[in-house]
Amino acid sequence: MRIILCGFGVVGQSLVKLLDSRSEDLYAKYGLKPRIVGVIDSKGSAVNTSGLDLRNLVEVKKKFGTVKNYADTKNSWSGIEMLKNVEADVLIETTASNYKDAEPGMSHITTAMKKGMHVISVNKGPLALAFPSLMELATYNQVMFKFSGTVGGGTPILDYAKNSLSGERITSFAGILNGTTNYILSNMTTGLSFEDALKDAKNKGYVEADESLDLDGLDAAAKLVILANWIMGMKVTMPDIDCTGIRKVTTEDIKKAAKNNCSIKLISSCNKQLAVKPKEISNNDPLCVNGTLNAIAFTSEHSGTQTIIGKGAGGTETASSILRDLLDIRKEIVRD
């Protein structure tokens, strides 16, 4: 299976290491022999139609900060140029999420689909801004579009709701979908101010380069859009979400909640309306998880409410979700 990888940050590198360490096992168990034929990062690209050497790729990135120093390859292609000129079966899109115009991810995804390539995206931008039309484009071009790593990282939230609860009608859901804000709010319960809790989260590398994505609830809102479309069959985008972040939560608010045996959490909910807001929730509620954990509770007609909890982010966890999607695509191709 020939793969083009757009984006070679923490997730892209984690994926390459995962594929390298599991190559024999993947072939023996699933008949999957992934061959990365092109990689692009913000400074350049590397191409080899027979397949790039994965270990060398990671070493070059580590040494030079870009893949463009990999051997004598064409190293100045943009993602679009690579997608148009290199034959591949799957695009894996891991560039940074952008909620203004979703570029460059949006162009990568649409170019790949029009060329008949299957797409795996962990970039939330294109899905947050154009989920319905991307699904239509995938159907029109008869390609598969997978994105299980966009919500919950390595925790299979989308898969659980779609497959484990199949036959059920989910009527509503609510959850903590951003580990960074959860970590900050959890730390504030120990008496830290918002500023100190934010500083600690930054020191641990939990905060996005653009902190507003976490603090203003944009990341959580993007995930809510993906869930609402995928699970509830809605046709919504980011502007449909009523979104408030955590910047105005004070230590007084935290103390007041504690007196009621509650904690303040940034809750993304889909009931009659779609909202991301800080809310008081009971400490006895299964949703009330701490640290960087994510949790989501699905309420369905017959089986009541079920909560799934797990790590929301991290390079290795997200890479494992990409591998799950890759195996799903392989299974479908073999079935056809």
Q: Which domain holds residue 163?
A: 157-311
CA distance 309 to 293: 7
pLDDT at residue number 311: 84
Residues serving a catalytic function are 223
Give burial (CB, 10 Å; 0-12/13-18/19+) of 204: exposed
Q: 146 with 165, same domain?
A: no
Q: Find the angle CA(147)-CA(153)-CA(159) to the nearest 5 degrees.
A: 55
Kindly write down the DSSP assignment for every residue of 38-65, as one continuous string: EEEETTEEEE-TT---HHHHHHHHHHHS
Q: Tell me, what DSSP letter sits at residue 313? A: -
Asked if residue 222 and residue 131 are part of one domain, the reply reads no
pLDDT score at 223: 96
| Residue 131 and residue 39 share a domain | yes
Contact 266, 277 (CB under 8 A): yes
On whether both 262 and 281 belong to a single domain, the answer is yes
Asked whether residue 301 falls in the same domain as residue 162, the answer is: yes
Query: Does residue 114 share a domain with residue 190?
Result: no
Number of domains in the chain: 2
pLDDT of residue 74: 55
What pTM did the predictor assign? 0.92
Distance CA 62, CA 101 (A): 30
- Do 141 and 182 lie in a common domain? no
Asked if 235 and 289 sit in the same domain, the reply is: yes
Supply the CATH number for residue 287's domain.
3.30.360.10
φ, ψ for residue 147, nearest 5 deg: -155, 35
Residues 214 and 127 in one domain: no
Question: What is the DSSP secondary-structure string of 67-106?
Answer: STTSTTS-----HHHHHHHS--SEEEE-SPP-TTT-TTHH
pLDDT score recorded for residue 153:
80
What is the C-alpha to C-alpha distance for residues 318 and 280, in angstroms, rounded to an integer? 29
Instruction: Write down the pLDDT at residue 79.
Output: 94
Q: Determine the pLDDT at residue 113.
A: 98
- pLDDT score of 155: 83
Q: What are phi and psi of 252, to 5 degrees?
A: -65, -45
Q: What is the mean pLDDT of each run of 10 residues along the chain (336 residues)?
A: 96 96 94 95 93 95 93 78 96 94 97 98 96 96 96 86 83 95 96 95 87 95 96 93 96 96 97 95 96 94 91 84 95 84
Q: What is the pLDDT of residue 204?
A: 87
CA distance 40 to 284: 46
**Do residues 264 and 249 lie in contact, with contact meaning Cβ atoms separated by under 8 Å?**
yes
Judge if 183 and 288 occupy the same domain.
yes
Report the length, in residues, of the chain: 336
Pair (176, 232) in one structural domain: yes
48 with 187, same domain: the answer is: no
Alpha helices in the chain (DSSP H): 10-21, 23-30, 54-64, 79-85, 105-114, 124-140, 157-159, 179-188, 194-203, 212-215, 218-232, 251-259, 315-335
What CATH number is given to the structural domain containing 53?
A: 3.40.50.720
The token pair at 293 is 């954990």
Rounded Cα distance between 336 and 268, Å, is 38
Cα(173)–Cα(151) distance, integer angstroms: 14
Task: Report the pLDDT value the prediction gives residue 72, as an integer from 0 to 100.
Answer: 63
